[in-house]
Amino acid sequence: MESSLANLDKINSWLKPIFNQNVYRKSDKYFGFKNTIGMIETDFEGHIHTGKMMRSFVELVISNQISILNNVEVKSIGDLNSEVEIELENGFHFNSKKVFLCTNAFTKKLYDLDVVPARAQVLVTKPIENPPFKGCFHMDEGFYYFRNVGNRVLFGGGRNLDLEGETTTEFGTTDLIQNQLETYLKEVILPNH
C-alpha cells in the first residue's frame, strides 16, 4: 500500500495526457470491508454485463453477413500458401483466405506462438440481501478481483498461490485456491454475510 501510494503521482502524470484528469486517488470509502490497510479508487474503470455484450456482438456479426458456428472446436489450421484449411473436431473442414486466431490462452494448441495460459479460478455467491458495495475491486497486487453481479459477488484470482500449477488450459478448481477465496470472502470482502 505504501509503495502504491508513493507512486500515485507518477502514474497519474503518465495517464493525465490520455484522460485529462488524475485517474487514481487515495480512497477513504469503507464498504464494510475488514482487515484492509487502505484503498485507491478511480472513476475510469467500469464493468460490463457480459450477456448484453454477447448479444450486441452477435447482432453486429450477423448484420455483417458473418456466420457463427457455435459449439465446434477447431482441431487444426493448415497453411496451404494461398489459403488456410480449418479442420474441426467433428471431422468437418473448410478453407479460408484469412484466419484470425482469437483463442486467448488456447492459441498455442493451434499455432506455434509464445502464449502462456494463466488460469483464473472464480466463484459466484448466492444473492445477498443489501450487498454492501457496487463496482469492481482489485486486491493484492491485482492477483484478486471481485465485483457485484446484481446482488451476487463474483470473486476470483489467487493464481499467485500456485503460479506453476495455474499455468494450464485445464478447467477446474483446486482446494488451495478455493479455500483462500472463501477465506477472503469471509474475512475481508463480506465479513457480515
User: Which residues of the chain form contacts with ligand FAD (CB under 6 A)?
Assistant: 47-48, 73-74, 102-104, 106, 110, 120, 122, 154, 156
Least Cβ distance, residue 103 to ligand FAD (angstroms): 4
Least Cβ distance, residue 37 to ligand FAD (angstroms): 25
Cβ proximity to ligand FAD, 11 vs 122, nearer residue: 122
DSSP 187: I
Determine phi and psi for 163, rounding to 5 degrees.
Answer: -60, -40
Cβ proximity to ligand FAD, 26 vs 109, nearer residue: 109
Cβ proximity to ligand FAD, 34 vs 47, nearer residue: 47
Least Cβ distance, residue 99 to ligand FAD (angstroms): 12
Q: How far apart are the first and last CA of the chain?
A: 26
Strand partners, 93: 87
CA dist 118 → 54, 101, 163 (Å): 23, 18, 8
Strand partners, 39: 27
Least Cβ distance, residue 62 to ligand FAD (angstroms): 17
